Chains A and B, each alone.
Chain A
Amino acid sequence: MKLLVNGEEKITSPMSVYDFLLTIECDPRPIAVELNRAILAKNDYRTTFLLEGDQLEIVWFVGGG
């Protein structure tokens, strides 16, 4: 199925947000995730399953002033 992740199209099999983060080698600790523009709480990564066309924003902290 197709997802839009940080503006890029990604093809993946159905899985939880947590498993998806692992497949893209993204440590779930220092990040925040928006699923279809709503914040997804860290506790919900394992129980939230991705659906066709879902839009994910995955952010973290970078240097800034």
Chain B
Amino acid sequence: MILQNDSLKIAGREFRSRLMVGTGKYADFAQMAKAIEISGADIVTVAVRRVNISDRNKESLLDHIDLKKYTLLPNTAGCYSADDAVRTCRLAREAGLSDFVKLEVLGDEKTLFPNNEELLKAAKILVKEGFTVLPYTTDDPIVCKKLEDLGCAAVMPLGAPIGSGLGIRNPYNIRIIMETVKVPVIVDAGVGTASDAALAMELGCDGVLMNTAIAGAKDPIAMAEAMNLAVRAGRLAYLAGRIPRKLYATASSPLEGVIE
């Protein structure tokens, strides 16, 4: 029962689950709420958008997320400059009354890769303003180190492009990042299925963040459960310590006493 005493610590706060999930792309709020619950996540990401002032019939997302149970992590998705991202974070803090932000500053629409120059600029301002900044970044150890030095509470390198489902494309970079920074390393984006999440955790990552892999699955509720198990299995395997890889066989059964 090693996992019972295992927790993810970010900026002095403790979270039991190492899986963070998004709230986008679900068929409806009921499906979203069920998927979040089954995933076991403690942290859920949300986006900040204009209220539709012409059509006020829309329900609030927050009617479906118990804020006593979940920590909101507002993102800056859709921001292409440091200025827009900082502005979005300030609005998010006012709407959600929490300092946690998932900072993303995008470079282009096709790849949704981060614009690291603007990301660093925004991170610097937000840390100074007292935000707990969790930046989505490329899997670049140098950029991750710079983000840590600026005071970010974690780094969130991508496994693959957002929504691509390609998995952890460069596990070696992720390992170097983990050796380079002391803050939690959370793989954000690119996960396609349970084995991708398990791999991230087996590498020793502190957590995994995903949205499309669950919401876009044929059965999002079942996939949420799969991810819950995968993240815990991967974490446990990491803590257990895997055997080294060898080219040739080593017999599992004793060589002594074989009949002749």
Contacts and interface: CB of A to CB of B under 8 A. Distances in A.
Interface residues of A, number: 28
B207 to A, nearest CB: 15
Interface residues of B, number: 38
B51 interface: yes
B211 A64 contact: yes
B53 A59 contact: no
A30 B48 CA distance: 11
B95 interface: yes
B22 A59 contact: no
B69 to A, nearest CB: 16
Interface string B210-221: 111000000000
A22 to B, nearest CB: 11
Contact of A59 (B32, B51, B209): B51
A59 B24 contact: no
Interface string A24-45: 1111001111100101111000
Contact of A64 (B24, B50, B54, B87): B24
A63 B51 contact: no
A9 B173 CA distance: 50
Given A32-B91, A39-B94, A63 B56 contact: no
A5 B60 CA distance: 19
Nearest to B21: A65
B51 A58 contact: yes
Interface of A is mostly: strand
A60 B95 contact: yes
Residue of A10, A32, A39, A60 with most partner-chain B CB within 10 A: A60
Contacts of B51: 6, 26, 31, 58-60
Contacts of B61: 60-63
B50 A65 contact: no
A58 B24 CA distance: 20
B227 interface: no
A8 B47 CA distance: 21
B53 A62 contact: no
B47 A61 contact: yes
The 3 closest A-B pairs by CB, nearest first: A64-B47, A65-B211, A65-B22
10 contacts: A39-B94, A59-B91, A60-B48, A60-B95, A61-B49, A62-B23, A62-B61, A63-B26, A65-B47, A65-B77
Interface of B: 22-26, 32, 45-51, 53-54, 56, 60-62, 72, 74-75, 77, 87, 90-96, 162-163, 189, 209-212
Interface of A: 5-8, 10, 24-27, 30-34, 37, 39-42, 57-65
